[in-house]
Structure 1
Amino acid sequence: MSVALAGAIATALAVVCLMLAPLGSPRVWWPFPKHPERSVLRDAGWTRSLLTWECLRAAAMICGLALAGPLGALPGGLVGAAAPSIVARSLAVRARDERARQTVALLQLTLAGLRSGASLTEALRLATGSGRATGLAPFAGAVRAFDLGAPLDVALRDARAEARDRRVILGLEALSLCVAEQLPSSRGATLIASVVDRLVFEQRTADDVRARTSGLRVQVVLLAVLVPGLALYLALTVPGMRETFTTPLGRFVLLPMAAMLETVGILASRRVVNAVT
């Protein structure tokens, strides 16, 4: 990429940032109604505005364009634009799994409290006070609302309406049902125990399937990296190949078509692996 092109991109980015500066208030998350990655960023722990996220994506794309080298600007720009989303989705998946494990641990502590003779409210308060993990936030929020005067079943239903993870919702529904129906401690313990058994079974099944299909996932990654790695190696070691990549045919036909086929292959492979799992 030439210096003039890099300067033009940097100037355009500076102008766009200057125009969007009034929208940078913390109260303004995004000038459009919905953002396709809003829930992913929330689960990944992104605390800044969506405008900052898009600026980060633009900076990553510019870095990809600057580091593209002999392979052309298009593949580098695509990789730079996709890298932040890939990282965010990976962090979001990891956070959801951790939240599910924390939910199971909280329900187990609540069940132990019920079996020891404590009421559901006391058992839930002790369970939520055992740690500051993010997975306990919906349950801890319901307990705080109850301490402020709200009915516990209403507080649990409100927390369920705001929850997004299916396993967290299942735990909140079980606790809300116990409170709303005024179940005795023995029946409430039986209901919560069935929910815990189900969540533990699902977690163990998911871990087992993930372990069995880890080889397939590694193969998908290796096959996805193989072709770009060979292209980069040939571009650096074979002058004729490097010249082919720098021609208009290479920049506008060969490399875009290779990037498109690579993307289709990755998506198809991930769909096959997900279907197997």
Structure 2
Amino acid sequence: MTTITRNLPWFIRDLGVSIVGKECYTSLIENLDFGDVKCIKYSISKGLGIGIVVGGSIVKVPQVLLIVRAKSARGLSLPAYILETLSYAITLEYAYRNEFPFSTYGENLFLTIQNVLITLLIILHAPRGTDKTANAVIASLGMLVFFLATSIIPLPLLALLQVTTLPLSLFSKIPQIRQNSRAQSTGQLSAFAVVSQVLGCAARLFTTATEVGDNIVSAGFALALVLNLVLGAQLWMYWGRDDVRERVAVPAEKFKSRASPAVAAYEPTPVAWERSATPPPQSPATGGRKWARKVD
């Protein structure tokens, strides 16, 4: 068997070496040494990392589509997405400047881009009475300035910013958790995005410990995992409540739409003649004699 694995085509060999390194490729692929625990863990970490990066490129697309189709960002917290975007951007720049393997942080690039888009959609679908265009421009410029600043500041200061991603992760989820709790609904929150983030954070804890060993980054993923689990629990608790409300509301709306204009426009007027000196005219059929006797 090793005769075959040691003579694989060059493009397969080069791809394997680029993913797991020459040492682990030789041990696991060429020599079929499945007792090499170190290389097995490293290979699993690489596989998970690549899967997370690929998944991160589409994980929030369902959230974008939900907002666009519904033309509403109901249930989504703007402060939560702004803080989450800042956290992703800091982690992305910190990992890039420290030359971590792309498979350990690449999803942050795609998550940052998708979060910027969702943030702008939330602003554009804000309630009436707000200057949506101005707010979108201000938010875009603010995020651009922030991204540029993180790319030029000294590395020690960037490391300090990376520490701030811990409270940023906390405060980015609390507004969304609180909003869900108050509304007893998750609105347009995407279940696919939340579940994917739970799995991604769990996998990232393993890949970070295996390939990077940065305690700050690991702590950030651990906190994000806990908070995403809370969001997942809320999705499970409030699942289907919006559908129930819509089913209850639709018949009432249909009843209103089917009511005749005369009935809809009718409002009983107060009886103004009780204290009036001159009573309203009455037809003979409805008691004109009675009124005559009363006046007499």
Given the two structures, how large is their TM-score scaled by the length of structure 2? Answer: 0.29
Structure with greater contact order relative to length (CA < 8 Å, sep ≥ 6): 2
From the two aligned structures, give the one with the greater helix fraction. Answer: 1
Which one has the largest radius of gyration?
2
